[in-house]
Every structure is written in C-alpha cells, then in structure tokens.
Amino acid sequence: MAQRKWWVRGAVLGSALLLAPVGAWADKLTELEQAFETQQRSLQQLQQEMQRLRQERTTQQEEVTRRVMEVEKKAAEATASSLQTGFDPWPGKGFYLKSADGQHRLNIGGYVQTLAQVEASRNEEDVDGASDKTAAIGRHRPSTLKLHRVRVIFNGTIFRDFGFHIEPEFTGGNIGARIETGFVSYSYTPWLKVTAGQMRHHYSLEQGMATQDLDFAAQRSFVNRAFSPDLQMGVLLSGNLKLADTLPIYYGVGVFNGCGRVDQCPGSVDNDGDKEYTGRLTVSPAMPFGALTVGVNADFRTFNIRRGAGATDTNGVTAPVGGGSKFHRFNPVSTLGDKFGGDGAGTSMNGFLINGDRVTTGADVVFDLYPFILKGEFHYASQERDGVGAGGSNLEDLRMMGGYGTIGFWLYGNKLKGVLLNGRYEHLRVEDTKGNFTPAAGTTEDTLRVRAGTLGLTWYANPNVFVRANYLLTDVTPGRNFFGVSNNTQGELTHQGIAELMVRF
C-alpha cells in the first residue's frame, strides 16, 4: 500500500515537473504536496468514521439481540406462570388451577362420608298387638356401616365476575350419579348477585351450610328438614351491603319451581306449574364481645296435583300420595330417615294429607364467643288442607311449628385442629289451628309432637379429616308411630347412635 502511494506521488510530481516551467517547479511541487496531504487526512478521517459506524452497528446489533432475548425470556416465564396450581389449605377448597391475573380459577374438591349407625335390639316380643308387632318388625333396622355420601365438587370463576358450582352425588341403584347442586352466578357488584340453577342456600341457617360444615353427623336437624324447601331449581337475587357503613346485611330473594330436585321432577320441568317464592335477610350487628348474626326467612309454595304430578321434597318430608290421589303427604323424618308421622302400618298414622298453599316463616341466630358457640332456629308454617275432609270438605289448616337450640364448647383448638363438644335440643309440633285436631277422611291423623336431644363430640384431626360421634334420644307422640325404631316397643324414648368419618379434599 505504501509503495503504491509513493508510485502515485512520483507520477504526479513527474508530470507536473515536465509540464511546468522550471521557475515554478518548486512552488508547484509544494502546492501539490500540501493538496496530497490534505487528501490523505480526509481519507484517514473517512476511514475512521467508517470504522466507528461499523463498531456502532455491531454494538446496536448486540443490544437488539440482548433485548430480544430478554423479551423472549420474559414471555416464556409469563407463559410458564400463567397457570398456577396447588392445594388450598382452607378446609374444603381442594385443589386449584388459576390464571396469574386472577381472572379465572377452578377448584376441584370433594369428600367421602362414612357412617356407623347403631340401633338397639328389636325386642318385638314387648310390642302389644299383632298388627303393631308386625309393623315394628318392618320398621326396625339393624346396626350397620354406610357409605353415606361420595361427592366431587367443581367450582370457580371465569372473568372474575362469573361463577359456577357443580356437585354430583354418586349413589347406588339405577341412577349411579345425579346432580346434587349445580348453578352459575354473575356478580354485578357486592350488593347484587344473580344465581341460576339448582341450589339450597335460599332459606334458613342450616340449608346455607355445606354438609361437611354441619355441627352434627349424618344430616341437618329434623326441624330444618321439615320446614326448609331444600334443593330446588330456580333464580336467586342476593347481595351483601352495609347499612350506615357499620351494619353488614345479606339479602336473598328467589323464585323456584318448587317441585324438588331436577331428577324428582319429570322431564326436569315444573310439573305442577306452581312456583315457590323465598326470601332471607341476615344482619350482623357490632357487639362489645363475640360475633352475632340474626336471620329471618319466608317461603311460599303450593302443593297440589296437576296432570297427575306434584311436588317432592328432597328430604322426603312432603311427596305426592300417588295411586290417583289428588293430595300430598307431609311426614317429618328423623336424622336417620325414620318417619315421625308413622308409615300407616299397624295402628300408626301415615303422615298428614295436605292440599293447597303453605306459608312458612322462620328466624335463626348464631352467637360465637370462643370457646362457646350458640345456634338456633325456629320455624312456623300454615298449610292448607283443601278437600281432604269428609265429602271433599276443607279442613282447618295445619299449624306446624318447631325449632332447635345448639350449644357448643371447644375443649381445645378449632376446626383446623381441635375437639368440639356440643349438644342440641329439638322440638316439633303439628296440629290444626282449632287445637282440637280433625283428621283427614279415612285416616288416623292426630296431633304430632316430637322432642329430641343429641349429644355430640367431634375431633378435627386436621382441616380435612374429622370424626364425629353422636348419641340421640327421641320422644314421639303418638308413640305407636315409632314402634320398632331401635329399641322402641311401647312409645318410650328411642336410643340411637351415629359415628361418622369425614375425609374432604
């Protein structure tokens, strides 16, 4: 390169010397040398600028590559964390799958409930009368182990405001599985929520509690089961608000088919055309100590036969008589399914024939002051008996009333881990509004009174596993309705026991 430069320089100088006059050669040579040096400096500057641009381009390419790699890494991390999984430590919530932004969530839980039901000996030899003895033998059940409930629960939210709850019940027999509860909801605001589907949380305290959260084994109280509508298909408007920013209030009003679960209504439609209307209101006033919640309830429904079909309660308390009859039968049942109103065998009653409207009101209270917890409900219902009298006459309305009170004491701990000792007293009375009972035509109906006490002990091994043991005493009048149940032979107190193992996930 250097030789080439000197060759060019020599050629230029030689040409200039040949063409220029001798006197001007020296000046011309100096001028040419200066011009050449200027060009060299310009060339060097251009080369330096080109090198700088090459370096900047390389640096920019490296920066772009680095930023692209960072973006790709963040995108991969976001994709990996967009679905989060785990096990919710709160009892009964189960496993979850949720989006990172909290917009969507799916909970998968469930429980298995097993029972040991303890019944006393039959002792039919102590029952007077051949027909009552036969009836007692038919009513008696041996002590047994039972797989009481097996359920898988799916619930969650979609786009934060839309919710769903699906709870199938696995049963024996021809059904195999059925929908226990299933509904969808939309939360417009905390004070307005719309729920549509099959549900039971629209009336009373215990109906709003999940089975695995009840205080006693097996079932809800027989008083609650006698008056509450239980599972129904319908629409519920509800919400939570605060009065004067200090008093929490919950409200719920709904309209339902009133014919029972969807599998109890032929074609899963409202078979009698009569709707059921419910309302519930709770308040939780501030207390100087403890926590207090008071609730009131109202329910209106109609029991009549349309197109050969009627309404059936989930718990079996009220159902169509069948066989072409235009009436329903009301017959309260115990925690273990025994009929307080008899089954028509022997000299027992066979529940109460009803036909027409029923209006039910109720109130409930919960007061929690650790280690004590007190709960109670009272319900009153008036049920029409149109056309059930002699010659199709109307009889006085049935007056049905009952309630229970529960007191619990934590020996230690809580539902996460602890032992709860509790007791419950229940009372139910069914009569007519005259007070001098007039039975339906062709029946042996009479005033019914039931009193029962339950002593319970629950051990919560952990939030998901607990064991309950209950001892039940029941007194039924007329006593002949209960002959044969456990050790009942003369209408005396009936003794029964329940042990329950609950495993939830």
pLDDT by residue, tens only, the chain of 505 residues: 545 554 545 554 555 545 555 555 567 677 777 777 777 777 777 777 777 777 777 777 777 777 878 777 776 666 555 778 888 877 778 899 998 888 899 999 999 999 999 998 888 888 888 999 898 899 998 999 999 889 999 999 999 999 999 999 887 666 667 888 999 999 999 999 999 999 988 899 999 888 888 899 988 899 999 999 888 899 999 999 998 788 999 999 999 988 888 877 766 666 666 789 999 999 999 999 999 999 999 999 999 888 778 888 877 899 999 888 999 999 999 989 899 999 999 999 999 999 999 999 999 999 999 999 999 999 999 999 999 999 999 999 999 999 999 999 999 999 889 999 999 999 999 999 887 899 999 999 999 999 999 999 999 999 899 999 999 999 999 999 999 998 888 888 999 999 999 999 8
Do 266 and 352 belong together in one domain? yes
Examine the fold and report which residue of 29, 55, 79 is the final residue of a domain before the chain moves on: 79
Do 75 and 128 belong together in one domain? no
Do 105 and 47 belong together in one domain? no
Examine the fold and report which residue of 29, 45, 79 is the final residue of a domain before the chain moves on: 79
Do 195 and 207 belong together in one domain? yes
Q: How many CA atoms lie within 13 A of 308 on its CB side?
A: 3
Quote the CA–CA distance of 442 and 365 in Å, as a whole number. 41
Amino acid code (one letter) for 301: R
Do 10 and 152 belong together in one domain? no
Do 155 and 253 belong together in one domain? yes
Q: Can you count the helices (H) and strands (E) in the chain?
A: 4, 21
- Residue numbers of the domain that contains 312: 83-504
Please, which residues bridge with residue 170 across strands? Answer: 177
Helix, coil or strand: residue 203: coil
Under DSSP, the state recorded for 43 is H
Please, which residues bridge with residue 275 across strands? Answer: none
Do 72 and 133 belong together in one domain? no
397: domain CATH number?
2.40.160.10
* CA angle, 42 then 45 then 50, to 5°: 125
| Number of separate domains in the chain | 2
Residue 270: the pLDDT is 67
SS3 string of 396-453?
EEEEEEEEEEEEEEEEEEECCEEEEEEEEEEEEEEEECCCCCCCCCCCCCCCEEEEEE
Do 97 and 241 belong together in one domain? yes
Examine the fold and report which residue of 79, 107, 142 is the final residue of a domain before the chain moves on: 79
Amino acid code (one letter) for 167: E
Residue 224: the pLDDT is 93
Do 71 and 93 belong together in one domain? no
CA distances from 81 to 74, 77, 187 (A): 10, 6, 27
Do 61 and 123 belong together in one domain? no
Contact between 298 and 442 (Cβ < 8 Å): no
Do 435 and 462 belong together in one domain? yes
Q: Which value, to the nearest 10 degrees, does the dihedral of the CA atoms of residues 211, 214, 220, 221 take? A: 180
Residue 178: the pLDDT is 83
Do 16 and 159 belong together in one domain? no
